[in-house]
C-alpha cells in the first residue's frame, strides 16, 4: 500500500521525526483495507486522511459513521470551511435520510418487527409483499391491511407491527441513487448514525448496502465504502448477509478489536482476507469490473 512511486498518491503524513512524506497508492486499495489499533492510536484520523485524498482524486465514497466524526471534515482546524466542504454530504436517519419500504426485503422487515412464521400477521405481510413489487410504504401497507378483511387477531397483530415500524421514524421516501450520483465525480456521503437507536442503525446500514450492491450490478462504477467500528458492523443481524457482496467495492473499515476475532469476523463476512491464516467463504459474488480512480 505504501509506495515510493505511487500511481495515485495520497499524502497521509510524514515519517516520525522527519519531513520524509508518507504516501499511499490509492490504486492499490483493492477489496477490504482494515485499519486497526488501540483506542486513540489514530485509526479514524488515518481513515479521514484517506477520504480527503479519495475525494481530491475525483472518486466517490460512502461512510457509515457510527460515531458522528466525519462531518467534521467540512471544517478546517481554524473553524472555517475545509477544502472538501462542498464535497461532503451529511445524512442523518429521520432528518434528511429515510428508508423506503421498497429498499428493504420482506425478511428484513420481519426480523425488524420480530415477525415469526407462526405469527398471526406473517401471512398477511407476505401477501402484501408479493402483490406489491414497488410503491410499498407504511401508509399504503396500513390501508391494505385494514381493507384485507382478515380475522381480528391477524388484523390487530399486523397493525401493532406497523405502529412499531412507524415509531422508529426512519421510513419514508428517499432516492439514495440520486445522492450517490451527486458524488460520482468526487465526494462523500456521510451517514451519521451517532445517537441513533440500534434498529435505526441496522436498517440504515442494510438499506445503504443494498443500494451499493444495486449500483454495482448496474455497473455504475466503483465506490469506496468506509465503515467505522467494523467489528460491530460485521455482527449486525441484518447487514451481515449483505457484506459479502460489498466486497466488490473498496471497503475501508476502521475498528479497535480487543482480539483477533472481530478482524476475522469482518474479513470473513466481506469474503476477503487480511492475513494468510483467514480463509474467505465460498460465497459466489457478483462480478464487477476493476476500475482505476
Residue that the C-alpha cell 450490478 belongs to: 217
For residue range 44-76, what is the model confidence (pLDDT) as tens digits?
A: 888 898 899 899 989 899 999 998 989 889 988
135 alpha-carbon distance from chain centroid: 23
Q: Under the phi-then-psi rule, with left for phi > 0, alpha for psi from -120 to 50, and beta for the rest, what region is 16?
A: beta
Torsion of CA 180, 182, 188, 192, to 10 degrees: -70
The CATH class for the domain spanning 29-98+174-269 reads alpha beta
pLDDT(230) > 70: no
Cβ atoms 140, 134 nearer than 8 A? no
Task: State the chain's mean pLDDT as an integer.
Answer: 78
Q: Which pLDDT score, from 0 to 100, does residue 135 have?
A: 92
Domain positions in the chain: 29-98+174-269, 104-167
**Residue 220 neighbours by CB under 8 Å, 6+ apart:** 180, 181, 184
Contact 218, 231 (CB under 8 A): no
pLDDT at 250: 56
Residue 229 has a pLDDT of 77
Q: Give backbone dihedrals phi and psi of 12, rounded to 5 degrees, phi first.
A: -120, 0
More confident residue, 249 or 157: 157
Amino acid at each position: 500500500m505504501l509506495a515510493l512511486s505511487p500511481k495515485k498518491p495520497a499524502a497521509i503524513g510524514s515519517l516520525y521525526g522527519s519531513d520524509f512524506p508518507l504516501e499511499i497508492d490509492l490504486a492499490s486499495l483493492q477489496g477490504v483495507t482494515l485499519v486497526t489499533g488501540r483506542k486513540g492510536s489514530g485509526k479514524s484520523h488515518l481513515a479521514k486522511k484517506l477520504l480527503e485524498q479519495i475525494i481530491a482524486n475525483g472518486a466517490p465514497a460512502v461512510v457509515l459513521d457510527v460515531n458522528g466524526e466525519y462531518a467534521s471534515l467540512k471544517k478546517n482546524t481554524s473553524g472555517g470551511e475545509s477544502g472538501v466542504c462542498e464535497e461532503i454530504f451529511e445524512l442523518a436517519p429521520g432528518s434528511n435520510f429515510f428508508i423506503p419500504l421498497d429498499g428493504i426485503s420482506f425478511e428484513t422487515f420481519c426480523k425488524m418487527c420480530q415477525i415469526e412464521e407462526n405469527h398471526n400477521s406473517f401471512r398477511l405481510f407476505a401477501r402484501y409483499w408479493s402483490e406489491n413489487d414497488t410503491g410499498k410504504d407504511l401508509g399504503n401497507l396500513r390501508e391494505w391491511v385494514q381493507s384485507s378483511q382478515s380475522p381480528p387477531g391477524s388484523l390487530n397483530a399486523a397493525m401493532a407491527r406497523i405502529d412499531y415500524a412507524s415509531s422508529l421514524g426512519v421510513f419514508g421516501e428517499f432516492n439514495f441513487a440520486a445522492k450517490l450520483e451527486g458524488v460520482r465525480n468526487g465526494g462523500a456521503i456521510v451517514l451519521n448514525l451517532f445517537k441513533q437507536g440500534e434498529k435505526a442503525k441496522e436498517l440504515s446500514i442494510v438499506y445503504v448496502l443494498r443500494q451499493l450492491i444495486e449500483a454495482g450490478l448496474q455497473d455504475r462504477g466503483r465506490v469506496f465504502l468506509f465503515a467505522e467500528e467494523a467489528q460491530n458492523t460485521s455482527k449486525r443481524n441484518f447487514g451481515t448477509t449483505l457484506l459479502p457482496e460489498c466486497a466488490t467495492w473498496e471497503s475501508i473499515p476502521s475498528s479497535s478489536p480487543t482480539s483477533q476475532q472481530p478482524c476475522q469476523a469482518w474479513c470473513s463476512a466481506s469474503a476477503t482476507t487480511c492475513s494468510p491464516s483467514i480463509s474467505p467463504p465460498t460465497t459466489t459474488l457478483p462480478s464487477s469490473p476493476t476500475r482505476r480512480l
